[in-house]
Amino acid sequence: MLPLFPLQTVVYPGERLQLHIFEKRYQQLVEDCQKEGFLFGIPAYMDEKLEYGTEVKLQRVVQKYPEGESDIICLGTRIFKIHSFYQQYPGKLYSGGDVEFFIDKDNSTEELQGELLKNIAMLYIELAMDNPPVFDIPFASYQVAHKIGLALHQEYDLLKIRNESDRLKYLIAHLKATIPVIREMNRTKESIKMNGHFKNFDPLDFKKFQL
């Protein structure tokens, strides 16, 4: 059974997550992780249910507060699916669950990674971002997933995809749908800015038209 800390967020393998722990049950969880060295799971609370999540390792307690609260840093390790959820881990305040861990298929290609990076660059240009994140090949889809404007349900969909090639394709499709929308929004914004300004139109050559 895996101790669980449900949150309305998606955590990916390799991701560092900073959390402020204030509830008594999760204060107990942090203390148990420190004493016993076990890992716990963060299942994403989506559509009023818990199904998929990521196992995380407590890396460091950054600060401990007088009332028992703490700031911690965790590292995502591997993805799981919950088969049975229990409101309380045996003898504890926090919850737990019987889970199945997944081994992903790493079938990524440099071609797909390159296409994704090209679309990410286009996104950042349209957003006029200062000092955008820089990614080098090779990289994992999880490294860029939080940095390209996915909605929470899209991040969750990505979490459920079991091979890297399909994850890259999912992100590319998202960007190809998103970039034209942002481009049109930018065009509309510029049109609004120009409203009320003096405009210089080239004269029409009526000889080209036949009545």
CA dihedral in degrees (136, 142, 148, 151; nearest 10)?
180
49 is a domain residue: yes
What pLDDT was estimated at residue 105?
87
Q: How many domains does the chain have?
A: 2
Q: How far apart are CA 56 and CA 35, in angstroms?
A: 16
Per the DSSP assignment, residues forming a β-bridge with 75 are 16, 57
pLDDT surpasses 60 at 211: no
pLDDT surpasses 90 at 71: yes
Enter the DSSP assignment of 208.
G
Per-residue pLDDT reduced to its tens digit, 78-109? 999 999 999 999 999 999 999 999 988 889 89
Q: How far apart are CA 44 and CA 198, in angstroms?
A: 53
Within a 10 A sphere around the Cβ of 76, how many other Cβ atoms?
A: 20
Average pLDDT over residues 57-71: 94
- The half-sphere exposure of 58 on its side-chain side, counting CA atoms within 13 A, is 26
pLDDT surpasses 70 at 203: no
Do 188 and 97 lie in a common domain? no
Structure tokens at 199: 């405009």
For residue 58, give its domain range: 2-101
Within a 10 A sphere around the Cβ of 20, how many other Cβ atoms?
A: 12
- Greatest Cα pair distance, the chain, in angstroms, is 90
Average pLDDT over residues 153-166: 96
What pLDDT was estimated at residue 59?
96
Q: Pick the residue with more confidence: 181 or 207?
A: 181
Average pLDDT over residues 190-207: 62
Do 90 and 7 lie in a common domain? yes
Q: Whole-prediction pTM value?
A: 0.85
pLDDT-derived band at 35 (thresholds 50, 70, 90) equals: very high
Is 165 within 8 Å of 109 (Cβ atoms)?
Answer: yes
What pLDDT was estimated at residue 17?
96
Which residue from 207, 135, 209, 195 is spatially nearest to 171, judged by alpha carbons?
135
Average pLDDT over residues 149-172: 96
Average pLDDT over residues 68-81: 96
Decide which of 70, 101, 132 is a domain's last residue.
101
Mean pLDDT, all residues of the chain: 91
Enter the DSSP assignment of 146.
G
What pLDDT was estimated at residue 186?
87
Do 97 and 136 lie in a common domain? no
Do 42 and 88 lie in a common domain? yes
199 is a domain residue: no
Per the DSSP assignment, residues forming a β-bridge with 64 are 70
pLDDT surpasses 60 at 112: yes
Looking at the chain, the whole-number percentage of residues with pLDDT higher than 70 is 91
The CA angle 174-50-64, to the nearest 5 degrees, is 95
144 is a domain residue: yes
